[in-house]
């Protein structure tokens, strides 16, 4: 097994998307060792990506690029909070995030991305990792995310039904029938004639 000198370069960036080179990694610079980059991601980052799911947030994202015998391993770690809509009341809520993802990168003839491995052309081995950072964060959001009980928007809360409460306020033992609208009775009479 080949061993590499662990030359660690660490750089910290503020997330200003007007700098196009900010999230690009040039693999020509990584002959040996490891590269670490850290970004403070905020609303500017999420706004520049123009995605609907996350528009606001404040996270610290770290990218480690580790040289391997047959390519590179990218380790993405993000921790912080994003603001997303509550699934119950649609009001904004803060969702804590701690996410990690690994991506393999190889050099080849043309660009390919199968999700787990990215192949970059050897003549231009540069990868913009902004989308990978966003994807790592977005995939860490729970499928169902709501405010804690009692914190939903008041305008909407009055219409919400608790999980254990029957819809319409009826209890299971309540067998009384509600009066039927006379228009429905007229429709039933037409169906009965057929």
User: pLDDT tens digits, the chain, 194 residues: what are they?
Assistant: 333 333 333 333 444 444 457 888 888 767 667 889 999 999 888 888 777 788 789 999 999 998 888 889 999 999 999 999 988 888 889 999 999 999 999 988 888 888 788 888 888 888 889 989 999 999 999 998 888 887 787 776 666 555 545 545 454 555 556 666 777 888 888 888 87
**Token reading at 77:** 């770690």
The pLDDT value given to residue 6: 33
**Entry pTM:** 0.68
Distance CA 130, CA 74 (A): 13
SS3 155: helix
| pLDDT value of position 183 | 78
Predicted local distance difference test score (pLDDT) of residue 9: 38
**CA-closest candidate to residue 83, choices 142, 43, 129, 124:** 43
pLDDT (0 to 100) of residue 153: 78
DSSP 8-state code for residue 181: P
**What pLDDT, on the 0 to 100 scale, is given for residue 101?**
93
Please tell me the predicted confidence (pLDDT) of residue 39: 94
Note the pLDDT of residue 83: 92
Going by their DSSP bridges, the two strands 126-128 and 24-26 should be labelled as antiparallel
Q: What is the dihedral of CA 167, 173, 174, 175, to 10 degrees?
A: 110
Let me know: does 78 contact 133? Beta carbons within 8 Å. yes
| Per-residue confidence (pLDDT) for residue 114, from 0 to 100 | 84
Residue 10: predicted pLDDT? 37
């Amino acid at each position: 097994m080949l061993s590499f000198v662990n030359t660690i370069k660490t750089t910290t960036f503020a997330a200003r998307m007007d700098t196009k080179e900010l999230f690009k990694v040039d693999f020509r610079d990584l002959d040996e060792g490891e590269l670490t980059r850290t970004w403070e991601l905020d609303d500017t980052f999420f706004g520049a990506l123009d995605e609907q799911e996350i528009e606001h947030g404040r996270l610290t994202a770290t990218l480690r690029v580790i040289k391997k015998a047959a390519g590179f391993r990218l380790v993405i770690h993000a921790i912080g909070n994003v603001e997303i809509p509550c699934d119950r009341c649609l009001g904004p809520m803060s969702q804590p995030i701690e996410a990690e993802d690994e991506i393999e990168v190889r050099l080849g003839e043309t660009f390919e991305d199968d999700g787990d491995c990215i192949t970059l052309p050897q003549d231009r081995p540069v990868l913009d990792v902004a989308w990978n950072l966003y994807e790592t964060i977005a995939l860490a959001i729970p499928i169902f995310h709501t405010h804690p009980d009692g914190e939903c928007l008041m305008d909407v809360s009055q219409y919400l039904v608790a999980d254990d409460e029957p819809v319409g306020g009826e209890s299971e033992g309540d067998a009384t029938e509600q009066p039927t609208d006379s228009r429905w009775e007229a429709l039933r009479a037409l169906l009965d004639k057929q």
